[in-house]
Amino acid sequence: RNIIAHMAIAGDSTLADLAKKLHISIPTVTKLVEELLAENIIADRGKIETSGGRRPNVYGLTNSAIYFAGIEVSRDQIVLVITDLQNNIIQSERKSDFALDDTDECLETICSTIENFLAGSGIDRTKLLGIGVCMAGRVNPKTGRSYKYFTHKEQSLSEIMEKRFGHRVLIENDTRARCYGEYVKGCTGQEKNIIYLNLGRGVAIGIIIDGKLYYGRSGFAGEFGHVIVERDGRECGCGRKGCLETYVSATGIKRTAFELMAKMSAPSKLRDIAFGDFDASMISAAAEQGDPIALEAFRFTGEMLGRALADVVTVTSPEAIFLFGGLSKAGKLIFEPTQWYMEENMLFVFKNKVKLLPSGIQGKNAAILGASALIWQEAAK
């Protein structure tokens, strides 16, 4: 396991490399490598050039050497994948008849769903290096706890699952998992410092600095949605007023549209929709047809988001900012005003140096790919 974990991070290695890094003798590492060769877990890449003396053989992992499980537990479904060393999806499954709740019954549903998925995946469980589970809400991967769900348990969520499955389990926040999924499988290119912004029911960011996720002291860094942008502004679920997510989330733009309809006399199809039936996609559809209320709602939302991102850039100086989540699907309706107001409010030294981009991972696989990649990283420590 130590040899596999080392190669997963360091790449191809010689026997001397392995012996030095893992603090084991050459005869022992030779014996272990021979066993791994016989099991087709590693492959002999041939001899490498050296400055003198005998040329050593170099060894590397095969794609089928190790696997990782990534699980996304969202409010209304569970998505499960098995990935290989290259983060390719080998098996996948989706449980749609699910509702996340802070109960023992819900936890049992989650655990049994994962258990059944692993049992039916057909992979050799001895090659499964770990399980990454991402969830909504405040999560601290160091403690293995969710601070929103299953908080009544004495054991941490990761401890409960590790005992149940017999594998290492990493619990992670869904936005940070998506951020890491974007980093390892998206379109980040050579960027090592990125911000990943999730515009869903709430607003949160994942921060990658020098290729590593940033957690902060508490483990909760990234609560971008609860930055105050308007003193005595809209009431937020956190108990305060004027939080960013009350303006730029899917629910925030809905509130903006209704406020605009009360202030503006312009005709709008949105006036015919009851508040309970209203959602962000309807505002987007109306804006595409030139509806003045809908267009102004997006302009205002982009202004609030752009101003806030200008401050984030001043503090973190990222190379790129990626937008994900329901509101980002509006495309240029949200990207264009956000980009304009971000540049307009940017400190001069940062102007035109930060890319604002859509997610490079299409569909809903970013979080689970990130979760599996994070357990890969954790297992190799």
pLDDT per residue over 88-133, tens digit each? 788 889 999 999 998 999 999 999 999 999 999 888 888 888 898 9
Q: Which two tokens stand for residue 39?
A: 């099991």
Bridge partner residues of 228 (DSSP): 243
Give the ranges where the chain is alpha helix by DSSP (H): 2-10, 15-22, 26-38, 104-120, 157-165, 174-185, 245-248, 250-263, 280-288, 292-316, 332-344, 366-379
pLDDT per residue over 266-283, tens digit each? 988 888 888 778 888 899
Contacts of residue 77, Cβ cutoff 8 Å, sequence gap at least 6: 94, 95, 96, 98
Segment holding 355, helix H or strand E: strand 355-358
Q: Which two tokens stand for residue 378?
A: 């954790």
Bridge partner residues of 356 (DSSP): 321
Q: What whole-number distance in Å separates Cα of residue 301 and Cα of residue 127?
A: 47
Bridge partner residues of 133 (DSSP): 71, 171
**Cα–Cα distances in Å, from 197 out to 208, 232, 362?**
12, 25, 15
Q: What whole-number distance in Å separates Cα of residue 120 and Cα of residue 139?
A: 29
Bridge partner residues of 91 (DSSP): 82
SS3 label, residue 236: coil
Contacts of residue 260, Cβ cutoff 8 Å, sequence gap at least 6: 293, 296, 297, 300
Segment holding 145, helix H or strand E: strand 145-146
pTM: 0.74
Asked if residues 100 and 75 have their Cβ atoms less than 8 Å apart, the reply is yes
Asked if residues 126 and 65 have their Cβ atoms less than 8 Å apart, the reply is no
Q: Which two tokens stand for residue 324?
A: 């994900």
pLDDT in tens, the chain (381 residues): 778 777 766 678 899 889 998 899 999 999 999 998 988 888 898 887 766 667 888 998 887 777 888 898 988 889 998 988 767 788 889 999 999 998 999 999 999 999 999 999 888 888 888 898 988 878 888 888 888 888 888 888 999 999 999 988 888 888 888 888 777 766 556 778 888 888 888 888 888 888 788 888 877 788 888 999 999 999 998 899 999 999 999 899 999 999 999 999 898 888 888 877 888 889 999 999 999 999 999 999 999 999 999 999 999 899 889 888 888 888 999 999 999 999 999 999 999 889 898 887 755 566 677 777 677 666 555
Neighbours of 277 (CB within 10 A): 8
Neighbours of 336 (CB within 10 A): 15
